[in-house]
Structure formats: structure tokens, C-alpha cells
Amino acid sequence: MTPSLILASSSPFRKMLLANAGIRFEAESASTDERAVEETLKDTGAGPDDVALVLAEAKAQDVAARHPGALVIGSDQTLSLGDQLFHKPADMDAARRQLLKLSGRTHQLNSAVVLVRGDTTLWRHVAVARLTMRALDPGFVGRYLAVAGDRVLSSVGAYQLEGEGVQLFDRIEGDYFSILGLPLLPLLAELRRLGAIDG
């Protein structure tokens, strides 16, 4: 039997946010090649928010194709500093370089969420948060990474705001759920509107 609501993600944070909200769902990873999808957007003028939306939709469509009739939640997040788009760091050295590049500057987290049923996208949303990192001493970055460990490699910003990563910031403007990777309040409102959850 096809589940009625599927989260197209393996992210423990997205799963936690939905579960904590009391939503009944199943989770299934998409097999989307994110870099290949991004490559198709090169030279199209797509901004970081557009990239997040396209990736979220591609993931949802991938899972929806395997579950006809299910309502599938797709989500993705991009980090941008000016025109530069950042990805999850490949290793701890890349994480260190990334944090030093963001040090003392304001970057954007663009969190996209879409709802797909069958081959139809029913809804799209992008939430943007602006985060200002304090000027970081390279020695502190090394100590932070030693404490935080490999967990930072699962975060596009090489930090996890719900943990020690909060110490890296001077100012945060935006919705906490969106910063964690899922614009939860708009998603819940749309799920209620569609009658997918009690409201």
C-alpha cells in the first residue's frame, strides 16, 4: 500500500521537524544527482533560491514516480554568499576553508519545499534567511571543528545551528525551521489546505 505522505529526504533534521510536529509520514531518499541537475541550470540566470527549488522539485518527482497517488514533500537548501553557491563540504579541511570564507560576512540560506503528487507539482515555496557570521579566529575554527566533528559535513554551511554552531554567529534573520532545512510553518499550512493533515 502506498503511504499517503512521503518525505523525499534522508535528512535526520527534516525527519525530526516533521515528527516533532506530530505528522505521520514515511521517508524515502531520492536518487537525484544534484550536481547534474545544477549543471542544467548553469548560464540560465537561475539564482540560489531557484536552484534550491529545482532541486527540491527534482527530488520530490523522483520519489513520486515510485509512489503514484502519494503526496511527496521535496526539500533542498542552498547557501549563497553573493553570487557564490556553496555545497556540503567534502571533508574537514573543506569545512575549515568554508567557515573562514564565511567569517565576518553575511550569507543566505535558501530553503525550498515543494509538494508533488504523481507528475504534478502542487505547491512551491522558498524561505530565505540571512546569517551574519562573526569574525572567526582560525584557531577557534579548528577547535570548533574538533568539537563538532564530522556532523558538520552533513550541513551545507559546515555548521549546525542547533548545536555548537550557534557560537559562530553575530546575527540571524529568518525562520529557525527554514535554517534547519525545512520551511515548516508554510508547509504545515499548505498540508492543512490540501486536507493532508488535520486542521
pLDDT at site 2: 55
* Percentage above 70 pLDDT, the chain: 98
Query: What pLDDT does 46 receive?
Result: 83
| Cα(81)–Cα(107) distance, integer angstroms | 5
Domain assignments of the chain as residue spans, ordered by start: 5-193
Residues 136-147: b if buried by 16+ CB within 10 A, e if exposed: beeeebeebbee
Catalytic residue from among 33, 76, 119, 137: 76
Q: What is the pLDDT of residues 4-47, one digit of tens each?
A: 999 999 888 899 999 999 999 999 999 888 878 888 888 788 88
Least confident of 40-54, 86-100, 117-131: 40-54
The β-bridge relationship of strands 26-27 and 5-7 is parallel
Within 10 angstroms of residue 75's Cβ, the number of other Cβ atoms is: 27
Average pLDDT over residues 34-61: 87
Specify the pLDDT at position 155.
85
Q: How many CA atoms lie within 13 A of 61 on its CB side?
A: 15
CA distance 74 to 125: 11
Tens digit of pLDDT for each residue in 153-167?
988 889 888 888 999
What per-residue confidence (pLDDT) applies to 3?
A: 65
Distance separating alpha carbons of residues 168 and 188, to the nearest angstrom: 30
- The answer to whether residue 178 scores a pLDDT higher than 80 is yes
Q: Annotated catalytic, 76?
A: yes
Predicted confidence (pLDDT) at residue 84 exceeds the cutoff of 70: yes
Where helices occur in 1-87 by DSSP H, the ranges are: 12-20, 34-41, 48-64
The structural architecture, per CATH, of the domain 5-193 is Alpha-Beta Complex (3.90)
The shares of helix, strand and coil residues in the chain, as percent rounded to the nearest 5, are 40, 25, 35
How confident is the model over 35-63, as a mean pLDDT?
A: 88
Angstrom distances, CA of residue 193 to CA of 14, 68, 76, 122:
21, 21, 22, 11
Q: Point out the least confidently predicted range of 28-32, 55-59, 106-110, 159-163.
A: 159-163
Please determine, for residue 66, whether its predicted confidence score (pLDDT) is greater than 60.
yes
Helices assigned H by DSSP within the chain: 12-20, 34-41, 48-64, 92-102, 138-148, 176-180, 184-193
Cα 28 to Cα 61, 113, 151, 155, 185: the distances in Å are 12, 15, 21, 19, 22
% of residues, the chain, pLDDT over 90: 73
Count helices and strands (H / E) in the chain.
7, 7
